[in-house]
Amino acid sequence: MNNSVDQVIEVGVISSNASILRHVGSVCREFDYTFDSWSSLEEFMDRGPDCRVIVTNTSEFKGASQDNAAECCQAAKAICNDAFVVCVVQKTIKKEQLPFLKKSGADLILLDHQLTEMSVLEFLLTQQLKARFIPIKASELIGESWIDFHIYHLVPHRAKFLACAIPGALTSSSLERLKKVSEFYINRRDLGAFRDYLESREAESSQDLLSRCRIRFLCLCAAYADLVLLLTDQAELASFEKGLELLNQVRLLCSSLVSVVAEFEDVWEVVDNSSLGNMGSVERSTAVATYAAVFGLRMDLDSVEDVMIGALLTDIGLLGLNSTLLRKMRMQIPLTENEYAQFILHPLASVEIALERKLQMDTRLRRIIAMTHERSDGKGFPERPLPARIPFESQLIQFCQELDSRTLTKMGELKMDPRVVRAQWVEESIQDTDRFGSYFCSQLEKAWKSFNEESVAHAQAKKKALDANLSTHPLRKPISHS
């Protein structure tokens, strides 16, 4: 699909390789991303396009592969300085060349078969195109404050985000001018600064708690996306320090989110309105982890953060599966026997990926990750252990995965009230002792009662407050109860 030079091209490919062009084009058509390609670096430079993501197949270049590949990355960054550059290399490339490519502008280095045969691209494009800019509310900004981030507005006809406020003093008058724009956005890389801005003042209302919970959830999403891409980056295979740093950051963000979830009862709304749909492979993991925290807090787990980490890591093995297989699953097309045999091994593959990159996981956490799809009735996968061997946390993650799947709005399907769907699934699960076991079901029932009791108490308190306000209102007339 060709686009004029002045239009934003979401995905651009510098390659003449037919299989790469076919695969990237197929993904773009499925998710409705604009796409263009150039057969050589010279053609790309002549056109000077504006791209969001650039995939460059450096294995096609002749001569000194390192120098030519680096030149391509540098040119891509120079022409599209805000683009995410994916450098595709052959398996035979020398490992010592990879850090040089990263310094030259490559944001991610993949082997050619990772791009065309695995499911990394779908997740990458979801994060870089769908989650690149985050909407914020005018009520979250206050006059006479200092901002350390840019604020953007969307120009739909140009498909561009333009800065309408820069770091510095945000006066009341400039804020009033900003409010004339219907929607505000921040770049995902500024999430940390925006979180600091929100939390620099006391939470005085439920709206403040909602904003605080949402920003912590989004920070977790961003850190998790960085961790997932790091696990696929060939340039990072020889170094584990960054992986450990990111995992620790994810764990801290989990703890931070738990502290808000514990006091904010409407966390459902945060997940329902802030997380992406089923666009790739593992982007739902942060929603599942948050649900696990919500229920885990009411089930008195020893470590809610551990079950969240388990939920985040359990499906990363999906990235190694053939993209055709996952596309069939997204389209709800039945898998062949061979495809299903590959799919059911993905929890074990998740453990292997984490261990390969030396992420710190004890034996208990490995078991949680490996058994999130096991069932007490023996109908799960991949190993069908005795029910007593299935960790409680694994059952909780499985329950939350199904909860997320049922409440997720899907294209082409009638939108259901998530509150109704959520209640139906919980009540159904409480009765399904064959699948989850009697102990889990009893704990789930206890946790769900606490939600319902809190909701009833909250509603009653609001009614009493309203009645009290009305009874003291100067225009309120006494009611006769005779």
pLDDT in tens, 304-340: 999 999 999 999 999 999 989 999 988 889 999 999 9
Has residue 469 got a pLDDT over 60? no
Classify domain 221-443 by CATH architecture. Answer: Orthogonal Bundle (1.10)
Closest residue by Cα to residue 163 from 178, 145, 146 = 178
**Residue 461: which pLDDT band, with cuts at 50, 70 and 90?**
very low
Decide whether 8-117 matches 221-443 in CATH topology: no
The whole-number pLDDT of residue 265 equals 67
- Give the domain ranges of the chain: 8-117, 221-443
Please check the confidence at residue 479 and state whether its pLDDT lies above 90. no
Distance from C-alpha of 210 to C-alpha of 195, rounded to nearest angstrom: 12
> Own/partner pairs for 15-21, CB < 8 Å, 24+ apart?
15/39, 15/55, 15/56, 15/57, 15/60, 15/88, 16/40, 16/60, 17/57, 17/60, 17/112, 19/116, 20/55, 20/57, 20/88, 20/112, 20/115, 20/116
Q: Out of 3.40.190.10, 3.30.830.10, 3.40.140.80, 3.40.50.2300, which CATH number does the structure's domain 8-117 have? A: 3.40.50.2300
Percent of residues, the chain, with pLDDT higher than 90: 49
Query: Which residue has 């948050």 as its token pair?
Result: 290
- Residue 394, pLDDT score: 97
Instruction: Return the H-helix or E-strand segment holding 73.
Output: helix 65-79
Give the C-alpha separation, 121 to 128, whole Å: 10
First-last CA distance in the chain: 77
Mean pLDDT is lowest, of 58-67, 132-141, 260-269, 357-366, for 58-67
Structure-model confidence comparison of residues 101 and 310, the more confident one: 310
Measured distance CA(140)–CA(327) in Å, rounded: 38
pLDDT per residue as tens digits for the range 181-209: 768 899 999 999 999 999 998 878 888 88
Beta pairing partners, 133: 187
- pLDDT value at position 106? 92
**Phi, psi torsion values for 109, nearest 5 degrees:** -115, 125
Res. 412 pLDDT band, cuts 50 70 90: low
Residue of higher predicted confidence among 34 and 276: 34
User: According to the model, what pLDDT value does residue 183 have?
Assistant: 80
Give the position of tokens 């909780």: 396
| Number of neighbours of residue 284 by Cβ within 10 angstroms | 21
Q: What is the pTM of this model?
A: 0.85
> Mean per-residue pLDDT for 109-131?
91
Confidence of residue 467 (pLDDT cuts 50, 70, 90): very low
Residue 66 pLDDT class (50, 70, 90 cuts): low
Q: Considering the chain, what is the average pLDDT of its residues?
A: 84
Q: Is the dihedral of CA 301, 303, 306, 312 positive or negative?
A: positive
Supply the pLDDT for residue 413.
Answer: 64
**What mean pLDDT comes out for the span 148-168?**
83
Query: What is the structure's pLDDT at 475?
Result: 36
Q: In what helix (H) or strand (E) does residue 25 lie, and over which residues does it extend? A: helix 18-31
Please report the pLDDT score of residue 341 as a whole number. Answer: 96
For residue 158, name the pLDDT band (cuts at 50, 70, 90): low
